[in-house]
Structure 1
Amino acid sequence: MASTTLQNATPLTADPTHDLLRMEHRPLDAIFSPQAIAVIGASERPNSVGRTLLWNLITNSFGGTIYPVNPKRKSVLGIRAYATIADIPEQVDLAVIATPARTVPGVIRECGEAGVKGAIVISAGFKETGAEGIALEKQVLEEVRRYKMRLIGPNCLGVMNPISGLNATFGSSMARPGNVGFISQSGALCTAILDWSFRENVGFSAFVSIGSMLDVGWGDLIYYLGDDPNTESIVIYMESIGDARSFLTAAREVALTKPIIVLKAGRTEAAAKAAASHTGALTGSEAVLEAAFKRCGVLSVNRISDMFDLAEVLAKQPRPKGPRLSIITNAGGPGVLATDALIATGGNLAHLSEETIAHLSEFLPTHWSHGNPIDILGDAEPERYAKTLEAASQDPNSDALLVILTPQSMTNPSTTAQQLKSYVEKNTATSMLTRKHTKPIIASWMGGDDVTPGENLLNDAGIPTYRYPDAAARVFSYMWEYSYTLKGLYETPVLPSSDGDNADEQRAAGLIQTALDEGRTLLTEEESKQLLQAYGIPIVTTRLAATVEDAVREAEAIGYPIVVKLHSKTITHKTDVGGVKLNLESAEAVRAAYQAIEAAVPAADFLGVTVQPMLKRDGYELILGSSLDPQFGPVLLFGSGGQMVEVYQDRAIALPPLNSTLARRMMERTRIYKALKGVRGRQAVDLPGLEQLLVRFSQLIVEQPRIKEIDINPLLAAPLDDAGHGGNMVALDARVVLHPADVAEADLPKPAIRPYPAQYCMRWELEGGPPVTIRPIRPEDEPLMVQFHETLSEQSIYLRYFHLIKLSQRTAHERMTRICFVDYDQEMAFVADYKNPTTGNHEILAAGRLSKLHGTNEAEFSMLVSDRYQHRGLGTQLLQRLVDVGRNENLDAITADILSDNAAMQRVCEKLGFTLSRTSDPSIVQADLRLDSSE
């Protein structure tokens, strides 16, 4: 038994229903590629929005028909006008609306009744005006949902598709065609960017003013431009993120193949104030936003020029494999400037190998720099540049090259550019750029008009140029940051210990419920530590003492020295009230500490003390915590801990859930990480163990949504000994704040990234064979998926993919990342996991996937079953699970294309209620299942 395919879908034939079907499956085509447009509110009044819109549409041919709608005029700008959209004799794809806000709900209703599938609402006067405007938006959205329309706006400049010539904006000019998709929340900035783009000769594949994002949001547009063959990179000006999960899901999928660069305004406003935990005090909106961008592979910049510089260089150049840059220059000063900018922005200067230096010395003048930057002196002719570039590109210590040219008497900028151009050659047959080497190259041609022809030669060859060397170096650092971020996202993580089943979720939930039943939102220290222990996080021995004699008795049992802390259900920070006494060496010291703590707090807040051993603090004090962000929900914090935690501010922020790779990347962003790796003769801590501890902590956060804030401070991490043993980690103190009991489960903040959907795991007995676990796939499954593909026959591969694919291609890491790294929001992939009783190893017997069609509420399914386990009911069971998930996720339909020869898959589909129908391609059958989530 084999399966269906998500690739190689049958192209639609040119029949009367083609456009309708296209817009059902790509609904934003109604906005970006319409055939008929109605301008509602078209006017001849000079300088009005309605007139400008109509004029821009008719003066920029997009290959379609335009219909002005104005009940008071028979024609507008010489074009016949219609009183309502219902009067238009042709099916309208797109309505561009520029009428007063109060009329827009009714206009949208009329558009829906007329079958219009796309709308752009230019009109202002909605939520930005207050309660009345918010009510109007609600009415508009109800109509949009009722008629399954897609809407951009309101309060926006409009949309341009420079490739087709569509200008549905009231801007003064049409953007140049190009390969950058630009999306902006600010209409005013759109006009400024447009003016700037003409000066800088920047072209666009799409130019979108998104407005208030009432319907179409970041995720919709990122997916659309990600699928658009004319778009090579996506540039975003963002003021608010809106639906965080939608943005992160779309960006994470698209960023792997098309760079996404964001300029975010309003970074300095703190997300929350007066937090009860250290974590809450240390996390702010900018830090969380940067963490979110890193989690989905988005590159964040601070300058408008950087947005487009990076869009160009990332689209044209390969991603660097490391941070080491080689600089070639004919003048010392620019090389130093580039080096300073490189180091300041996180890059490294490549250390040239002895072989490279020797090779360069064979043809460079005696007084060349003999190091990096490679100063080839002011009399450098084009051939010297070319030889140097060739030699430097071969150095294994270099990841990229920057070539700087300053115009001097012996310099020929154009001829030098022509020499460098051979580094990237264009295939005249395909018009595609090919590279002699895989390392990126950028250039800085300094000077005025004399260097412009050379710049143009380099730019045409795909080598980006910059007038200033520091700007070029900064661009490289951004390139490395982007490459490093993507590498971390798609690096295969280590499987959690005990297959991730070491958490006692029920015990943790019981501790939380006990506190809520008592009307408390603050766990005691003892309860907090038990909560950590339930998730496998080591804690220091902690014993309660309600009386002074109890405290002495527990101290004697543990052994001196001792720590005594306040035990209270109401006080958050014990050190602030003198509630922590350290290094107690005797019973008398314990008594004195107990009495001092009791005297320092109100009687109602004093429940006794906790008694703990005073551990030797020869390790590192860390902090690990979580707090809430208003946009992204729970966020994680890791860094230097102890009493000075808020002074040192050495922390990294990440979004849960984590895997081992993401945990390590989080640690790497702190200054203390260098010490944790070993410094000044001390051994490293157990870094793999610390990674797993962070993974378990993130699991606690996503599985216990009642937790509002939590701190482990300090988390003591001891170095390993010389033999590699030890390296113990222990939570010395913990604090947990809960959401009140009156907050409904449905209203609890949710993680911006959907966690592993463990609720979809199930056991199933294979017909005549062993039990298997059908569960969602996870990134750690990559090695198992490689082994699974080794069990598949050529026939199974052909029936699944409609053509044969080599095993080496199917199991390449770049392809496996697409299969195993699932965010569970846009896709849901399942595997049949079998534990071999003989070897004790896990094997994957089958895999199935449900993938949402971008812009719709439908999904396609695909499936593969290992040849050894076909015809035993596994395929039917796996598809049933996909159907059940589709219903649970409230999908409208599930479809697939199946080869006509694949009779087994067709029978499975029919058994589960799919309707099979022929397509225009006789070799393909379409399976379709309409879902009713109430079933």
Structure 2
Amino acid sequence: TRCHFVNPRYDELHGEPCYPSIAELPEVPDIVVVALNPLRAASVVADAAAAGVPAVIVPGGGVVEGGEAAARMQREVREIALSHGIALLGPNCMGLFDLTTNSATYIGDVNPWLPHGGVTGIAQSGSVTDAFIHAGTRIGFSRVIGCGSEVVLDVCDFLAYAIDDDETHSIMLFVEGFKRPERFLALADRALELGKAVMAVKVGRSSQAQAAAVAHSGSLAGEARATEAALRAAGVILCDDLDALLETAELVAGCRRLGRGVGRGRSGVVTVSTGEASLIADLAPRTGIDLPDVPAATRDRLLEALPTLGYIGNPLDPWGATDAATAYEAAFTAFAESGAYDVLAAVYDFPYRSLPSEVETALEIIAPLVRATADRPDLMPVFVSLTSGEPTPEIADALRGAGGIPLLRGTVEAFTAIAAVARWEATRDRRRAGRARRAEWPSIAAERTFVGHDIVIDPASPIASRVSPERESLERVARMGIPTVRAELVATADDAAAAASRIGFPAIVKVDAAGLAHKSDVGAVRLGLPDPDAVRAAARDLLALTLPAGARRRGLVVAAEMAGIELIVGARRDPSFGPVVLVGLGGVLAEAIDDVAVRLAPLDAEEASSMLDELRGRAVLAGVRGRPGIDRDAIVAAIVALGAAMVAEPTLLEVDLNPVISGPSGTAAVDALVVEAVR
């Protein structure tokens, strides 16, 4: 690597010659780094373009806050770069460093002793780029890139490179936003197909999309949930924070080192403390870790080997049953040979500078873990420290000497990582066995265009919309193949009574009005009407009701009242990721209960069914206290049909089926709200 300095004020810098301009360099550089006020970057980029330089980095901070001058600079450097085919990184970035070539065009400090590994780190934040580098002694990076303002190159360009790079086996991301969300999903899907884990922290979640939503579904499936659903559909492992990201990356790297996976994530955990075991078990619902019970035959085996063992469970604490070496040999061997687990985890906490006796104990735990899993490619060994401190070097060396058993730090972070990687492996296997979620993803992933030459999504762009009246909405939903309640549109109170007599009692009467999204909020619904007289009286009240400004009354809807469990099934067109669907506990309190699952559309019956399993109130769906449950197949079919309609009909913005009632008398959408884009 050769480095040339350009500055017309000096003849020499750091013992190297200094040139007055890029044009006067002895050779055309591969890359130019603009090491001056970023607001003056346009002239340097122009000089680089004239000299035929293929790449430019504009680092530095303060560009975003620089007002019109900064905005003008960004427009100018973008236009110059795109017109000359320059790959431009920045402005407002830290640069990049590459351990595969041992080069760093980076404005921060880089530890020269960082180990070369197989993880590419990409961050849209300068300080997080630094945080990645600081973690490099542990993670093992191939390269780290700070994206900055992304006027030409964006996270998708670097992700595409990492996916095709033989030196990279996994990718860490810190993302604030996506300029090309569909391309990002397509690339993530490609990484999934190749078995390269993409792990991400996504920040910058806002409430703007929820505030603008008309339907319950639009609010419940807001920006954050839509983003999560889209990224998970493309196989991205979402992490809540940097600690979780680092532990997940360490586990993925450990799987790579050992040539194993975590399978279904069924974890057998062995600790040195009953308190630790209880803590891990208590946190299982939060972390998602699967802790299967100890099989009966394994219990008998453990009691035979360790007759003084007081309690046998998973997690298991064999400490004190006999000497440590014997106890942990028996525990790990029994767990390994039980067939009940995919992961064997040893849990032991230690200070940075452990006493010799503490190191000896740790080694007595590590050794039987290694032996129990040595010839078992179906078992993934991990070592967990319940706190996130730096390990004693002797313990870290022992794990490295055993082939690189991953050392995970932090109780929640460690077991969350195991559960997350198990889900990712299952998603990877499904992807390899089938097609991409969206048919266009493979072709999008194959494209190679800078952000300036590609379609950029502007989520803030307003879209004119129309809220359809209820009767029209129900008819539209019925055409999607979703069953709807029997209902009639009427104009008078007498007509309402006659319609109810035909439909059956008890009856419901509602105002049908264009532009009226939530009828119950303004008292425009009457329920449980037992006879024609009650219907007639309710209809008169509703016809006299003053509606909010902008609502245009079309008449009244008379429908049969159904018995069953109320759900909400809905969809919205996310401005970044396209159509998403949701299902949850419904009714007028749907938003207050906020118990929903969200997925990217389209989806199949298996995935729609998994949404029901995610709900906190899923026990209600199966029936409780003698009450019947839902017709699960009918609800799944409705979810799938709505997702297909959102994909097939691009003018649909939001669809709200609330409630969908499912019970002994059948399953039907009782109320519907359709919001369409106005052409």
Please indicate the TM-score interval, normalised by the length of the shorter structure: 0.7 to 0.9
Describe how 1:649-728 pairs up with structure 2 within 5 A.
Answer: 649-677=594-622, 685-718=630-663, 728=666
Distance (Å, rounded) in 1 between the aligned partners of 2:605 and 2:328: 44
Decide whether the 8 Å contact of 1:401 with 1:440 is kept in 2: yes
Distance (Å, rounded) in 2 between the aligned partners of 1:559 and 1:683: 22
The one-letter amino acid of 2:222's match is G
The one-letter amino acid of 2:545's match is A
Distance (Å, rounded) in 2 between the aligned partners of 1:348 and 1:450: 26
The one-letter amino acid of 1:457's match is A
- Relative to structure 1, is the Cα distance of residues 142 and 600 closer, same or farther in structure 2, using a 3 angstrom cutoff? same
Q: Residues 577-611 of structure 1, C-alpha deviation per residue, up to 9 Å, x if partnerless?
A: 22212222322222211110011125983332112
1:322 maps to which of 264, 272, 275: 264
1:284 CA drift (Å): 3.4
Describe how 1:193-272 pairs up with structure 2 within 5 A.
Answer: 193-195=132-134, 197=136, 201-256=138-193, 257-267=195-205, 269=207, 271-272=209-210
- Relative to structure 1, is the Cα distance of residues 450 and 638 closer, same or farther in structure 2, using a 3 angstrom cutoff? closer
Decide whether the 8 Å contact of 2:125 with 2:146 is kept in 1: yes
The one-letter amino acid of 2:37's match is P
1:539 CA drift (Å): 1.2
1:541 CA drift (Å): 1.9
Decide whether the 8 Å contact of 1:656 with 1:701 is kept in 2: yes
1:305 maps to which of 240, 243, 248: 243
Distance (Å, rounded) in 2 between the aligned partners of 1:440 and 1:70: 56
Equivalent residue for 2:394? 453
**Pairing 1:108–2:50 present:** no
1:154 CA drift (Å): 0.9
1:538 CA drift (Å): 1.1
Decide whether the 8 Å contact of 2:5 with 2:16 is kept in 1: yes
Equivalent residue for 1:97? 34
Describe how 1:529-678 pairs up with structure 2 within 5 A.
Answer: 529-602=474-547, 605-615=552-562, 617=563, 619-677=564-622
1:417 maps to which of 342, 345, 366: 366
**Pairing 1:183–2:122 present:** yes
Decide whether the 8 Å contact of 1:328 with 1:402 is kept in 2: yes
- Relative to structure 1, is the Cα distance of residues 415 and 367 closer, same or farther in structure 2, using a 3 angstrom cutoff? closer
**Pairing 1:139–2:69 present:** no
Equivalent residue for 2:312? 370
The one-letter amino acid of 2:73's match is L
Equivalent residue for 1:823? none
Unaligned 5+ segments in structure 2 are: 351-356, 438-463
Equivalent residue for 1:509? none
The one-letter amino acid of 1:606's match is R
Q: Residues 867-889 of structure 1, C-alpha deviation per residue, up to 9 Å, x if partnerless?
A: xxxxxxxxxxxxxxxxxxxxxxx
Distance (Å, rounded) in 1 between the aligned partners of 2:202 and 2:528: 49
- Relative to structure 1, is the Cα distance of residues 395 and 172 closer, same or farther in structure 2, using a 3 angstrom cutoff? same
1:680 CA drift (Å): 5.4
Equivalent residue for 1:478? 420
Distance (Å, rounded) in 1 between the aligned partners of 2:391 and 2:180: 49
SS in 1 for 2:57: strand
Decide whether the 8 Å contact of 1:421 with 1:457 is kept in 2: no
Equivalent residue for 1:21? none
Distance (Å, rounded) in 1 between the aligned partners of 2:621 and 2:391: 53
SS in 2 for 1:66: coil
1:155 CA drift (Å): 1.0
Q: TM-score, normalised by structure 1?
A: 0.63
Equivalent residue for 2:332? 389
1:163 maps to which of 100, 109, 113: 100
The one-letter amino acid of 1:77's match is H
Distance (Å, rounded) in 2 between the aligned partners of 1:470 and 1:689: 37
Distance (Å, rounded) in 2 between the aligned partners of 1:355 and 1:735: 56
1:406 CA drift (Å): 6.3
- Relative to structure 1, is the Cα distance of residues 648 and 389 closer, same or farther in structure 2, using a 3 angstrom cutoff? same
Distance (Å, rounded) in 2 between the aligned partners of 1:136 and 1:588: 73
- Relative to structure 1, is the Cα distance of residues 647 and 194 closer, same or farther in structure 2, using a 3 angstrom cutoff? same
Distance (Å, rounded) in 2 between the aligned partners of 1:451 and 1:333: 23
SS in 2 for 1:521: strand
1:554 CA drift (Å): 2.2
- Relative to structure 1, is the Cα distance of residues 345 and 548 closer, same or farther in structure 2, using a 3 angstrom cutoff? same
1:279 CA drift (Å): 1.7
Q: Over aligned residues, Cα RMSD in angstroms? A: 3.1
Q: Residues 211-243 of structure 1, C-alpha deviation per residue, up to 9 Å, x if partnerless?
A: 111122222212212222222322122222332
- Relative to structure 1, is the Cα distance of residues 666 and 469 closer, same or farther in structure 2, using a 3 angstrom cutoff? closer
The one-letter amino acid of 1:170's match is I
Equivalent residue for 2:407? 465
Q: TM-score, normalised by structure 2?
A: 0.85
Distance (Å, rounded) in 1 between the aligned partners of 2:72 and 2:386: 56
- Relative to structure 1, is the Cα distance of residues 119 and 490 closer, same or farther in structure 2, using a 3 angstrom cutoff? same
1:360 CA drift (Å): 2.1
Decide whether the 8 Å contact of 2:346 with 2:365 is kept in 1: no
1:151 maps to which of 88, 92, 110: 88
Unaligned 5+ segments in structure 1 are: 1-63, 426-434, 496-518, 720-725, 742-935
How many residue pairs were aligned?
635
Distance (Å, rounded) in 1 between the aligned partners of 2:126 and 2:436: 46
Q: Residues 630-684 of structure 1, C-alpha deviation per residue, up to 9 Å, x if partnerless?
A: 5434432211111111221111222222233332333332223343345556666
Decide whether the 8 Å contact of 1:337 with 1:470 is kept in 2: no
1:525 CA drift (Å): 0.8
The one-letter amino acid of 2:334's match is A
Equivalent residue for 1:514? none
SS in 2 for 1:357: helix
SS in 1 for 2:478: helix
Distance (Å, rounded) in 2 between the aligned partners of 1:688 and 1:629: 27
Q: Residues 104-127 of structure 1, C-alpha deviation per residue, up to 9 Å, x if partnerless?
A: 334333333433222211155644
Equivalent residue for 2:451? none
Equivalent residue for 1:41? none
**Pairing 1:528–2:473 present:** yes
Decide whether the 8 Å contact of 1:161 with 1:206 is kept in 2: yes
Q: Residues 765-792 of structure 1, C-alpha deviation per residue, up to 9 Å, x if partnerless?
A: xxxxxxxxxxxxxxxxxxxxxxxxxxxx
- Relative to structure 1, is the Cα distance of residues 208 and 643 closer, same or farther in structure 2, using a 3 angstrom cutoff? same
SS in 2 for 1:606: strand
Decide whether the 8 Å contact of 1:368 with 1:374 is kept in 2: no
Which moves more between the two structures, 466-475 or 619-628? 466-475
Equivalent residue for 2:299? 357
- Relative to structure 1, is the Cα distance of residues 487 and 645 closer, same or farther in structure 2, using a 3 angstrom cutoff? farther
- Relative to structure 1, is the Cα distance of residues 267 and 704 closer, same or farther in structure 2, using a 3 angstrom cutoff? same
The one-letter amino acid of 1:401's match is L
Distance (Å, rounded) in 1 between the aligned partners of 2:358 and 2:55: 60
The one-letter amino acid of 2:361's match is N
- Relative to structure 1, is the Cα distance of residues 419 and 639 closer, same or farther in structure 2, using a 3 angstrom cutoff? same
The one-letter amino acid of 2:126's match is G
Equivalent residue for 2:384? 444
1:161 CA drift (Å): 0.6
SS in 1 for 2:514: coil
1:565 CA drift (Å): 1.2
1:697 CA drift (Å): 0.6
2:218 maps to which of 270, 273, 280: 280
Equivalent residue for 1:85? 22
SS in 2 for 1:229: coil
Equivalent residue for 2:672? 734
